[in-house]
């Protein structure tokens, strides 16, 4: 992989990681268009590692929230009175909600990096989950804010986050939809989606960096990987700021037409032989 390709993929990752359009799906599509082997272990590891850049962007953006929640959690471990703080409960909700994807992601890692990397899967998931997003917007009552989050909400959103391991679904699309169906308003659902992404994607990126160092060195290279990660950090920070303002006034269904269009384009490219599905 050359540096120009790395920069392009970093931009794609940063822009799409938190938008409900599937960053993994977009990375898979662009990697295929660039002539990269998406089933190569090094490319798969690269895809997971550069997500850490986007997560660092979210940590920077939400640093005050993260510090507040962390302090409330540690105080609650030592003091019964501190356990009445809503931030203490929210911190626990984030921890509990992050457990399902850790278990499912680790157990299904070979399936995720293998058969599910097919562009037919990406195209199908883009369309199918678009229907879910429409249903979530129409049926979600959106009458509860972040302060009214309950443990069952975090568990449900955390479980649904596992579905996003299928490329094309979109982690943010899955978690925001789940939040809406649980009655959270769009801003609350989006913020919770960001909070749950931090431990999940850091763990995935760290695991790939630790276990796939040789594959990265042999195929993609560490310099392109580092460059793409830095680029994804910068572009993701801008995307986060934009998305939070956008969802305050617009439904997530505005992304549906784009998702379906991408799915159609991918199907046409595969059908005409421009690219292969795997």
pLDDT in tens, 18-75: 888 988 888 988 988 888 887 778 888 888 888 889 989 989 999 999 999 999 999 9
- Do 167 and 125 meet the contact criterion of CB atoms below 8 Å apart? yes
Query: What is the crossing angle of helices 41-49 and 186-211, to 10°?
Result: 140
Torsion, Cα of 222, 224, 230, 235 (10° steps):
-150
Q: Are 100 and 161 in contact (CB under 8 A)?
A: yes
Q: Which of 17, 76, 4 is nearest to 198 (CA)?
A: 17
In tens, the pLDDT along 175-187 reads: 999 999 999 999 8
Question: Helix, strand or coil for residue 99?
Answer: helix
Does the predicted TM-score (pTM) go above 0.75? yes
What are the distances in angstroms from CA 231 to CA 22, 56, 253? 18, 11, 28
- What tens digit of pLDDT does each residue of 113-149 get? 667 778 899 999 999 999 999 999 999 998 998 889 9
Confidence of residue 260 (pLDDT cuts 50, 70, 90): very high
Task: Output the average pLDDT for the chain.
Answer: 88
202: confidence class by pLDDT, cuts 50, 70, 90: confident
Q: What are phi and psi of 35, to 5 degrees?
A: 85, 15
């Amino acid at each position: 992989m050359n540096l120009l390709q790395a920069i392009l993929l970093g931009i794609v990752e940063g822009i799409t990681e938190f938008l409900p359009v599937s960053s993994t799906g977009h990375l898979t599509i662009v990697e295929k268009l660039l002539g990269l082997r998406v089933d190569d272990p090094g490319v798969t590891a690269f895809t997971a590692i550069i997500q850490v850049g986007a997560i660092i962007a979210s940590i920077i953006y939400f640093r005050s929230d993260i510090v507040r929640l962390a302090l409330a959690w540690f105080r609650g471990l030592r003091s019964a009175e501190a356990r009445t703080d809503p931030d203490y409960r929210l911190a626990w909700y984030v921890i509990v909600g992050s457990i399902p994807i850790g278990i499912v992601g680790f157990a299904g890692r070979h399936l995720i990096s293998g058969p599910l990397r097919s562009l037919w899967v990406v195209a199908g998931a883009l369309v199918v989950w678009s229907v879910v997003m429409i249903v979530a917007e129409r049926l979600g009552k959106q009458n509860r804010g972040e302060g009214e989050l309950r443990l069952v909400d975090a568990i449900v959103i955390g479980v649904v986050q596992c579905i996003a391991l299928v490329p094309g679904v979109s982690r943010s699309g899955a978690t925001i939809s789940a939040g809406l169906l649980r009655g959270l308003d769009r801003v609350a659902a989006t913020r919770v989606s960001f909070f749950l992404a931090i431990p999940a994607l850091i763990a995935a990126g760290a695991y790939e960096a630790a276990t796939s160092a040789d594959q990265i060195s042999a195929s993609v290279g560490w310099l392109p990987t580092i460059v793409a990660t830095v680029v994804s950090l910068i572009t993701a920070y801008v995307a986060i700021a934009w998305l939070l303002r956008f969802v305050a006034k617009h439904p997530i269904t505005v992304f549906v037409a784009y998702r379906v269009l991408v799915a159609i384009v991918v199907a046409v490219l595969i059908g005409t032989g421009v690219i292969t599905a795997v």
